[in-house]
Amino acid sequence: MDIKAIENLNIDRVLERGTGKIIEQRPDAILVFDERSKGLMLACDDASVGEAMLERHLTEEHRLLMISNVALGKAMFKKYNFADGLECFQVASYSDEMPEVSGALDIRLAEEKDVPFLLENYDALSEEEMREEVKLGNILLGYEGNEIAGFVGEHLEGSIGLLHVLPKFRRKGYAMQLENAYIRKNMEAGFVPFGQVEIHNQASLALQEKLGLTRSEGTIIWMWR
């Protein structure tokens, strides 16, 4: 089991930044709890080993679970009656060259005053989560003149996401500019930039390919309750 494998970059990130706590580890498996996202993360070569780890440590208090062994993830979703889930490809930038962040957009960090705008245009996070993202400096805004054209961010466990371009500003290449800006931000912090794309999101998969990101062969599964 390679903690640096593309499918396991979530686990690698939370351990690198110091918010991940190793619950159990052996050469072929690792179970980690991330204090920031409150997510439990499991990587394992052998599904039976991973399942045994979850039997020992998974409780009702764990509301968010990521498993990078997709077969095990699907089985555990049913076994533990999670409410919903998402199967994703992992994408990552392994280039040593910083991406150019050029074009019409002026990139700025979001501030507390921007939270209502962000919530109006992105409904996948609660107000509490969005405020935490802004407090951590995890959201970048792209301005065209005096107007916000779009934004991009980093989910609490470290993956690039929250990418949104407002309708009137689309078809200008702003999605690429925004994501490149966040890739650069990650690289400047010394991290491998990575994100997750839902397996049927062809538009996003095409964008990641255009950006030159590497896509995982396998998939990972997030689930929550």
Task: Collapse the DSSP code of 84 into the 3-class scheme (helix H, G, I; strand E, B; otherwise coil) and give the result.
Answer: strand
Among 163, 169, 156, CA closest to 211 = 163
Q: What local confidence, expressed as pLDDT, does residue 172 receive?
A: 94
Where, residue-wise, is CATH 3.40.630.30 in the chain? 106-191
CATH 3.40.50.150 fits 106-191, yes or no: no
Sign of the Cα pseudo-torsion (120, 124, 128, 134, in order): negative
Residue 85: which H helix or E strand, with range?
A: strand 84-92
| Spacing of C-alpha 155 from chain mean position | 5
Are 145 and 172 in contact by the 8 Å Cβ rule? The answer is: no
Indicate the pTM of the whole model: 0.93
- The answer to whether 75 and 47 are in contact (CB under 8 A) is yes
Q: Which two tokens stand for residue 27?
A: 């050469």
With beta carbons less than 8 A apart as the criterion, state whether 178 and 152 touch.
yes
pLDDT at 29: 98
Q: Enumerate residue ranges in the chain where pLDDT < 70.
A: none
Report yes or no: 122 and 148 within 8 Å, Cβ to Cβ.
no
